[in-house]
Chain A
Amino acid sequence: MLLEADSVEVAFGGGISGGARRLALRGVSLALPADQPTILAVVGESGSGKTTLTRLLLGLLCPTAGTVRYLGQDIARMDRAAHAAFRREVQAVFQDPFAAYNPFYPVDRILILPARQFGLVATRAAAYALAEASLVQVGLRPAETLGRYPHQLSGGQRQRLMVARALMLRPRVIVADEPVSMVDASLRATILQNLYGLTVDHRISLLYVTHDLATAYQVADRVAVMQNGVVVEEGDVEAVIRRPQHPYTQALVAAIPPPDPTVPWGVDDEAA
């Protein structure tokens, strides 16, 4: 397996901090296969544990029980070299780019810092060339973005910058946690198309975490539905949407408004 969570459990609270011990994840197993690039959507509502799961898979959080493995190796027990490879090859795209960037760094520094950190480029000129190329890939114009600070970019540009930064490091996996939930609907399709197209072109596996089953359907090959820290249903995206088995998945599917006023949805009893 490429990246895998094996029966992971995460508990918050209890211990010396007091408060009730609560399980954010209760024995979750999910995997991205190594043989071919896969897009796996993790769908759930707030509190379902999906963000906790992304933090585990990125190595930002340790499971209370269970193991996270990258290429078969427990990420908590890797040697320095393997861990550095893991850090470069598994990249993140977060929900709120404002929270992810250092507000005092201009775009060129945001891009060049990780490129040098991971030894992808030897010279400053090479770093700039790489940064420019990765901006172009996501449809940003280097001349208009490189010298700017995050607050000078629009929400859509900030989100694309995060995709550019992740792609620049030539990852094998991108973990995207609600990458378009803070973006206007008109931009959502463009950013998802970009993310989808680039992961396919570069044979990158994508873990797409979202509350939105409709965009999960657009992007993913497989989908895992989470509720209260448990994966309640997992399967091929077409099968899960057309024939949801678990009552919670059925409720999620029914909660998507059909974008057609002639299709009844059941919020207005009189509507026909």
Chain B
Amino acid sequence: MSAALRPAAEPPVLEVRDLDVAFETRRGRAHAVQGVSFTLHRGERLGLVGESGSGKTTTALALMRLLRPPGRILGGEAWLGELDLLAAKPAALRQARFARIALVPQGAMNSLNPVLTCGTQIEDLLQAHGVPAGGAATQTRIARLLDGVGLASEIARLYPHQLSGGMKQRVCIALAMALGPSVILADEPTSALDVIVQKQVLRTLIAAQKTLGAGMVLVGHDMGLMAQFAHTVGVMYAGTLVEVGPVRALFADPRHPYTRMLIASLPRFDRRRHFVGIPGMAPSLFNPPPGCPFHPRCPQATARCAAEIPQEQILPDGRRVRCHYAQEPALAA
């Protein structure tokens, strides 16, 4: 069942409202995430895509409450069922992490403990959530988990350095699956991998998400990968979600100029020497431009864009777009 056809009655597994995150540094405050809102349903895969510095990783870390100073959550709510992740006490968070919301971190290959075997690391996680250590039942469970991500059970006895990048990434996915969470956040889980392995790991990730029926957020920069992974795509720019919508509608008719340019910049196999870049640079978060943050790079910007921050518009197809001209026909690129 595709996410679009889901009965509307079912409540989302994750509902994020007006998430605001800033980094307070000596240079001043960098408002890294501003008013980010989205919902995630059971079985839905949401792709958060943007350039470096757009706030996509910060969003994922804030939801896990893993932001470190100088990063600080300024406001917002993130409802995981009845639990507001952003307000939860440490004990409640500890219970929720991995059991209900799991993270496959960026550079997952370097996030494993080098002095413990992979099996021990999975066992530790289970134990921390009340599963008795040792015993044949646990070993069977670990073997099943590894099997679920396409690894042989012998991997449990090996140390991370004995594994390839793709295998380590799969161990991290197994860890994220171990307690059957209803939400998995995967932060650039394949960007350090070779392309052939990337495709295999993505397949594993999707299979894991389906087995659990979990909602999944994939954070990434590759719009092409999102086209293949996501049911819903959220495009981030300078800390805001500029366009959110069903993947097919968004690719068929992007309504924000930035989304349009991101899609146009993808290399295509039907046209050689067809280079469509996005001129300019992402704005400084310390000193953002007035009005729409994208207006200095936008080919369609008007005086209004430089003066007035666009509010979110909801289009007839349910898409949410932050552009004054979201409902007007697009200019030819």
Chain A residues packing against B (C-beta within 8 Å) = 45-46, 154-156, 184-193, 196, 211-215, 217-219, 237-238, 241, 251-252, 254-262, 265-268, 271
Contact = CB atoms under 8 A, between A and B. Distances in A.
A218 B222 contact: no
- In this complex, the interface size class of chain B, counting residues with CB under 8 Å from chain A, is 35 or more
Interface in B233-266: 247-248, 251, 261-263, 265-266
B275 A190 contact: yes
A212 B199 CA distance: 14
Contact of B196 (A45, A184, A241): A45
Contacts of A193: 275, 277
Contacts of A155: 52
Nearest to B52: A184
A215 B227 contact: no
Contacts of A241: 269
Interface in B5-24: none
A222 B261 CA distance: 28
A214 B196 contact: no
Contact of A192 (B263, B269, B275): B275
B261 A265 contact: no
A267 B203 contact: yes
Q: Which 4 residue pairs of A and B lie closest in terms of their CB atoms, listed nearest first?
A: A190-B277, A193-B275, A189-B277, A186-B278
B206 A189 contact: no
A218 B228 contact: no
B275 A218 contact: yes
Contacts of B66: none
Nearest to A237: B272
Interface of B: 51-52, 194-196, 198-199, 202-203, 206, 221-225, 227-229, 247-248, 251, 261-263, 265-269, 272-279, 281
29 contacts: A155-B52, A184-B51, A184-B221, A185-B51, A185-B262, A186-B278, A188-B277, A189-B277, A193-B275, A214-B267, A214-B269, A217-B272, A218-B272, A219-B273, A251-B196, A255-B199, A256-B224, A257-B225, A257-B227, A259-B223, A259-B224, A259-B263, A259-B268, A260-B251, A261-B227, A262-B251, A265-B199, A267-B203, A267-B229
Contact of B228 (A188, A211, A237, A265): A265
Contacts of A255: 195-196, 198-199
A267 B278 CA distance: 29
B265 A189 contact: yes
Contacts of A237: 272
Nearest to B229: A267
Given A190-B278, A211-B194, A261 B248 contact: yes
Contacts of B198: 255
A237 B273 CA distance: 12
Contacts of A156: 281
Contact of B194 (A46, A186, A214, A257): A46
Nearest to A213: B195
Contacts of B199: 254-255, 257, 265, 267
Nearest to A185: B221
Given A156-B281, A214-B269, A218-B274, A252 B222 contact: no
B248 to A, nearest CB: 5
Main secondary structure of the interface of A (DSSP, over half): helix
Contacts of A192: 275
Given A260-B251, A267-B203, A186 B265 contact: yes
Contacts of A196: 273, 275
Contacts of B52: 155, 184
Contacts of B279: 190
Nearest to B250: A261
A257 B274 CA distance: 18
Given A255-B195, A257-B224, A257-B225, A186 B277 contact: yes
Contacts of B223: 185, 259
Nearest to B248: A261
Contacts of B229: 267-268
B248 A262 contact: yes
A212 B225 CA distance: 14
Most buried by A among B248, B267, B277: B267
Given A189-B275, A190-B278, A267-B203, 4 more contacts: A189-B267, A190-B279, A259-B263, A262-B251
A212 B224 CA distance: 13
B227 A258 contact: yes
A258 B228 contact: yes
A176 to B, nearest CB: 15
A217 B202 contact: no
B222 A257 contact: yes
B161 to A, nearest CB: 16
A265 B263 CA distance: 17
A271 B268 CA distance: 22
A257 B201 CA distance: 13
B273 A218 contact: yes
A271 B2 CA distance: 9
Most buried by B among A185, A215, A219, A265: A185
A46 B192 CA distance: 10
